[in-house]
Amino acid sequence: MSEIELLDHPSQEIEEINEEELSYWKDAWLRLYANRPALSGLIILTFLALCAMIIPWLSGYTYYETHLELKNSPPSSTFWFGTDELGRDLFTRIWWGARISLFVGVTAALIDMVIGVFYGASAGFIGGKVDDVMMRFSDVLHSLPYLLIVILLMMIMRPGVATILIALTITGWINMARIVRGQILQIKQNDYVAAAWMLGASRWRILLRHLIPNAIGSIITTMTLTIPAAIFAEAFLSFLGLGIQAPIASWGTMASDGLPALRYYPWRLFFPAGFISITMFALNLLGDGLRDAFDPRLRI
């Protein structure tokens, strides 16, 4: 075979690039920015996160001090969100609870991501028998009713944040693993991977340089959508009395405490319930927006 010669060609023959270059991330961000609902979701979340960080420091009350004479009082200028049955300021407790709920949600999602990405990428990348076995295992695990197992676990372990995290992530990673594996399988088929392979790239390089970066979009999206599921699960557990113990409160436990008092002191339920809903709403809007922003099919 003869050597490859470089031909000289006048610049006019090379096809012009008509559009301005857009990197993958810039394109995704532009699309997200144009998506009003998603953008509002992002703004709401940022606001909530900031409040959760700052307000507990600034508030004049702590989350545990009781004012028994003022218990169960409705929202007023002294207690913006009212007080609970022990006279504690609900406004402060809401923002302490925000820290807990958000922390649990985000951490659970992160753990799910780490396990899921590792598991799914390995299965998809190695392929063949190993992939088969790994997927069978996760399928069986997935077929077990999730919430039931969680409840059982919560009952036998000591209550606390660590327990909740373990319970939430024990099967939560399967969803992420499936999505990552699907992405890897899809990307593996692309011609540019074959090209890299032919040019002599090692398997590691292909994995790190081509497969994972192109799957990051899905990973981020799935993570964003896992957080509300985790927050919901935590609130659900609290409702069953399996959540965080007093005096620390998450939104879930506060909602659960507020339920029996619904008729006469509705604010005790509505504030935590409202914040749970708003947070999940914002996260879902953002997650949807991210999914659309990273979708390669929508690229023009």
Partner 1 sequence: MKHASKNTLLEVENLHTSFSTLSKRVAAVRGVSFHLKKGETLGIVGESGSGKSAMAKSLTRLLPPVSARIDQGKVYYKGEDLLLKKEKELCKIRGKEIGMIFQDPMASLNPTMRIGEQIIEGYALHYGATSKNERKQRALDLLKQVGISEPASRFKQYPHELSGGMRQRVMIAIAMISSPSILIADEPTTSLDVTIQTQILELLKEIQQKEGMSIILITHDFSIVAGFCDRIIVMYAGEIVESATVEELFSSPKHPYTKRLLQSIPRLDAPFSQKLYSIEGSAPDLSKEIKGCPFAKRCPYAIDSCYDQRPKSYSISKSHYAACSLFDPHLKKEREKEKECLTPF
Partner 2 sequence: MIKRYLVRKFFLLTFSLFLVATLTFFLMKAAPGDPLIQEQAVPAEIMKSMYAHFGLDQPWYVQYVKYLKELITWNLGPSFKYEGRTVNEIIREGFPVSFTLGLEAIFLSLCMGILFGTIAALKRSLWQDHVAMIIAVIGISVPNFIMATFLQYLFSMKFAILPVARWTSVAHSILPALSLSALPTAFIARLTRANMVEVLQQDYIQTARSKGLSTSQVVFKHVIKNTLLPVITYIAPLSSAILTGSFIVEKIFGIPGLGGWFVTSVTNRDYTVIMGVTIFYSTLLMITVLLIDFIYTLIDPRIQITKAKVIKE
Residues near partner 1, by CB under 8 A: 12-13, 15-16, 18-19, 31, 34, 298, 300
Q: How far is CA 211 from CA 135, 199, 215, 224, 270, in A?
A: 19, 16, 6, 20, 45
Interacting residues with partner 2 (CB under 8 A): 37, 140, 143-149, 151-153, 155-156, 228, 232, 235-236, 239-242, 255, 259, 262-263, 266, 269, 273, 276-277, 280-281, 283-285, 288
Contact 178, 138 (CB under 8 A): yes
Residue 156 partner contact from partner 2, partner 1, none using kind-dependent CB cut-offs of 5 to 8 Å: partner 2
Residue 13 partner contact from partner 2, partner 1, none using kind-dependent CB cut-offs of 5 to 8 Å: partner 1
* Residues 136, 141: Cα–Cα separation, whole Å: 9
Residue 298 partner contact from partner 2, partner 1, none using kind-dependent CB cut-offs of 5 to 8 Å: partner 1
Residue closer to partner 1 (CB basis): 11 or 77:
11
Residue closer to partner 2 (CB basis): 46 or 277:
277
* Residues 146, 170: Cα–Cα separation, whole Å: 9
Output phi, psi for 83, to 5 deg: -125, 165
Residue closer to partner 1 (CB basis): 35 or 92:
35
For residue 4, the minimal CB distance to partner 1 (Å) is 16
Q: Which residues neighbour 125 within 8 Å (Cβ) at sequence distance 6 or greater?
A: 184, 188, 203, 207, 211
Residue closer to partner 2 (CB basis): 30 or 259:
259
Adjacent-strand bridge partners of 89: 83
Q: Which residues neighbour 252 within 8 Å (Cβ) at sequence distance 6 or greater?
A: 101, 231, 234, 235, 236, 237, 238, 239, 243, 244, 272, 276
Residue 105 partner contact from partner 2, partner 1, none using kind-dependent CB cut-offs of 5 to 8 Å: none
Residue closer to partner 1 (CB basis): 209 or 299:
299
Residue closer to partner 2 (CB basis): 67 or 142:
142
For residue 19, the minimal CB distance to partner 1 (Å) is 8
Exposure of 5 in the CB half-sphere (CA atoms within 13 A) = 4
For residue 233, the minimal CB distance to partner 1 (Å) is 36
Residue 16 partner contact from partner 1, partner 2, none using kind-dependent CB cut-offs of 5 to 8 Å: partner 1
| Best CA proximity match to 193, nearest among 177, 178, 176, 214 | 214
* Residues 156, 133: Cα–Cα separation, whole Å: 30
* Residues 160, 168: Cα–Cα separation, whole Å: 12
Residue closer to partner 2 (CB basis): 214 or 284:
284
For residue 202, the minimal CB distance to partner 2 (Å) is 38
For residue 263, the minimal CB distance to partner 2 (Å) is 6
